Amino acid sequence: MILELLEHCLTPCTWTARSMGFLTSTIQVRARYQRCRAAWQPHLDRTRAAILAAARLATGRRKALLFGAGLLHDIPLRELAASFEEVVLADIVHSLPSRLAALRFPNVRLLTLDVTGIMKEMPRLRDSPAAPLPASSPQVYLDDGRLDFSVSVNLLSQLGWVPGRFLRGGRPEADLAAFQKGLILAHLEYLRQLPGHTALITDVRWRAQPHAPGEAAREWEVLQGVRLPEPEWAWDWDIAPAPERERGVDYAARVHGYADWKGAGIAGGWEGKPAGKN
């Protein structure tokens, strides 16, 4: 607890990231990783392998851009740094260990980025519950001719969750749900518009499995009703084995991976459809 408090004080980040809980969440996830490393390892290995497989599909080797890279647990940084002239690690918070790790590679750059482009407006919107919620339309890197590869890594489901939690209580639930869904759809469309090759890795569904005989498992979708196309890869992530989140209950996330999001997204017709089970 003392180390986490010290990290909270020393980690560079924006006021928005602190006030909305992004920094706290980053530190908590890193602590959970330390406790659940063995359970997480298969998921981390699958994610790294998927990123490298997708990167091999890029036709150029100039710039690689990774969204959601702040903790680096699931990022094959050494291999990417050896494969591309420049690697950009983008996240709203970069942990202190990640900052130190990035220093080992002269062609790796950290970018503090709110990929939605609207998080800075959230404090004002929470204080003004009658104000309309903005639409996300990120523009960064859309005109970057050197960008050959981009991947969104285990980020999509979180885009709506944090702002939804931050704004909850002052607005109708239906308005918040539509706002959260809009953030997810905007990110998927943004990946489609980026130059170069794009890939996507995201959790789509969670499952809570009680240990007690006779107790039924619970499942729920985490993409606000957005249906994704059939994935190229799919696996389970033992994200919170008991008693990490709840005594006697294991939590697992279903993860989908798309080596070519532009191809999958166009062919799959994902926009706005009810989430299904794959």
Residues 128-144 have pLDDT tens digits of: 988 999 999 999 999 99
Q: Supply the Cα-derived Rg of the chain in whole angstroms.
A: 18
Average pLDDT over residues 38-66: 98
What is the per-residue pLDDT for 230? 92
**CA separation for the pair 11, 23 (Å, rounded):** 8
Calpha distance 8→23 (Å, rounded): 7
What is the reported pLDDT for 266?
Answer: 56
Those residues whose C-beta lies under 8 Å from the C-beta of residue 75, and which sit 6 or more positions away, are: 48, 51, 66, 69, 89, 153
Predicted confidence (pLDDT) per residue in 226-256, tens digit: 999 999 999 999 999 999 999 999 999 999 9
Instruction: Give me the numbers of helices (H) and strands (E) for the chain, helices first please.
Output: 10, 8
CATH code of the region 2-268: 3.40.50
pTM listed for this prediction: 0.92
**CA 278/CA 276 separation, integer angstroms:** 7
**∠ at Cα 252 (250, 258), nearest 5°?**
175
Query: Hey, where are the domains in the chain?
Result: 2-268
